């Protein structure tokens, strides 16, 4: 029997075990997120999907839906917090959208547009991060990493390879390649791996295909990221 809760004044149906995020997506309601992926166990690290449940903040990707709960998501207060988090992600890495191969396909860029981001607001860190071009088919640009850990989870849980990992703590946390040399070429990573296709930004890039689809004709050039909830619902 279907149960319901209230999300921004709208009645949302859900099945036992579904999270707020899953139920909202099923109902074609978009909640901003970066580390959430429907194929993996929720991680709750990016905090963009934070909502208020009965007045208390929680991550919608990890919070199970409960009948009768009242959830707030699309409010000025919550969206202001999401905007600040998005701005922090931009200044913590090196993101140059106009020249990026992923422009128009990047979830971080699309989320910034969705939230009305007009400037980074904070001072840029300009970190000095390496680019790994050792692999014959893939280039890794660590400058764009937002620590969502999707590639880590995909390589570990789906591919069974553990090619990627997060190292360090706090502000020094960074993505690494699990090889003695630290080079992707010294792993068994291939383009057929799930990890090759889950990065929401532009860290994992297929060589010789960067601008195969012209800017202006890419996913979020054609429709805002908020439309993805509808697309996912239709696929299911």
Dump pLDDT digits (tens) for 21-35.
Answer: 999 999 999 999 999
List of residues 6+ apart from 52 with CB closer than 8 A: 58, 71, 72, 73, 75, 78
- Total Cβ atoms within 10 A of residue 95: 22
Sole residue written with tokens 């997060």: 166
pLDDT of residue 178 exceeding 50, the answer is yes
- Alpha-carbon gap, residue 18 to 6, rounded angstroms: 14
Give yes or no for residue 159 having a pLDDT over 50.
yes
Instruction: Please check whether residue 179 is in contact with residue 187, taking contact to mean a CB–CB distance below 8 angstroms.
Output: yes
Q: What is the pLDDT of residues 98-149, one digit of tens each?
A: 889 999 999 999 999 999 999 999 999 999 898 999 999 999 999 999 999 9
- 31: helix, strand or coil: coil
Mean predicted confidence (pLDDT) in 58-64: 97
- Judged against a pLDDT cut of 70, whether residue 236 lies above it is answered with no
pLDDT band at 66 (very low <50, low <70, confident <90, very high): very high
CB neighbour class for 142 (10 Å; exposed up to 12, middle 13-18, buried from 19): middle
Comparing C-alpha atoms, which of 177, 118, 113, 116 is closest to residue 145? 177
Angle at 224 between CA 218 and CA 228, to 5 degrees: 90
234: pLDDT strictly greater than 90: no
The average pLDDT across 9-20 equals 96
This prediction's pTM: 0.93
Ordered domains of the chain (ranges, CATH): 3-74 (3.10.20.740), 102-215 (3.30.70.20)
Instruction: Quote the CA–CA distance of 187 and 140 in Å, as a whole number.
Output: 13
Whole-number pLDDT of residue 43 = 86
């Amino acid at each position: 029997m279907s149960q319901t809760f209230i999300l921004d004044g709208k009645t949302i149906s859900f099945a036992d075990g579904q999270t707020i995020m899953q139920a909202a997506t099923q109902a074609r309601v978009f909640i901003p997120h970066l580390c959430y992926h429907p194929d993996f166990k929720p991680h709750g690290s990016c905090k963009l999907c934070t909502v208020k449940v009965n007045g208390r903040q929680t991550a919608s990707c990890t919070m199970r839906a409960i009948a009768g709960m009242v959830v707030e998501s699309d409010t000025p207060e919550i969206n202001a917090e999401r905007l600040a988090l998005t701005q922090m992600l931009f200044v913590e890495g090196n993101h140059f959208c106009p020249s990026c191969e992923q422009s128009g396909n990047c979830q971080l860029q699309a989320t910034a547009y969705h939230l009305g981001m007009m400037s980074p607001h904070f001072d840029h860190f300009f970190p000095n991060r390496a680019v790994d071009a050792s692999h014959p088919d893939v280039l890794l640009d660590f400058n764009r990493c937002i620590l969502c850990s999707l590639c880590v989870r995909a390589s570990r849980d789906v591919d069974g390879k553990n090619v990627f990992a997060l190292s360090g703590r706090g502000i020094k946390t960074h993505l690494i390649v699990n090889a003695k040399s630290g080079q992707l070429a010294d792993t068994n990573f291939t383009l057929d791996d799930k990890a090759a296709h889950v990065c929401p930004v532009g860290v994992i890039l297929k060589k010789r295909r960067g601008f195969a689809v012209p800017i202006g004709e890419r996913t979020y050039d054609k429709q805002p990221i908020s439309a993805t909830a509808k697309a996912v619902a239709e696929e299911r």
